[in-house]
Amino acid sequence: MICSRCGSEKNVESHHIIYKSQNGDNSDANRIPLCQACHDYRHCLESNQKMLAKETQSDRIEVLQKRLEIIERENTPLLILRRGYYSYWNIYKEMLSPKIGKRKLKYIWQDYETHLGKRP
């Protein structure tokens, strides 16, 4: 099998479009082949989209929208082929790492302020 998202032939799994927990079946029409990295990405994306759909507070909506942007930007098919799936929390930990230089931290805060309007 070949991953339908990135084209990888390694660790390809079947992703249920309608989850079995939601009465989805095992038919070929309800499954798509995804490598493990794209499968992880897909579940993360769907989970965050569900949270966003239920959220009513505008500031939390902005945070979830930013999180989705980051997840999508950091997990293009090409990037997944090169280095695998990169979770939002890995990115977040890097941003807050004490090893970051002041210059990089300045740009992180600028990006944060652009999307949320203030520092925490």
pLDDT of residue 71: 87
User: Model pTM greater than 0.75?
Assistant: no
Give mean pLDDT, residues 100-119.
Answer: 55
SS (H, E, C) 31-98: EEEEEHHHHHHHHHHHHHHHHHHHCCCHHHHHHHHHHHHHHHHHCCHHHHHHHCCCCHHHHHHHHHCC
Q: What is the pLDDT of residue 119?
A: 44
Per-domain residue ranges for the chain?
12-116
Q: Each residue of 74-100: pLDDT tens digit?
A: 899 998 988 888 887 766 666 555 555
Q: Can you tell me which residue has the tokens 């490598």?
A: 35
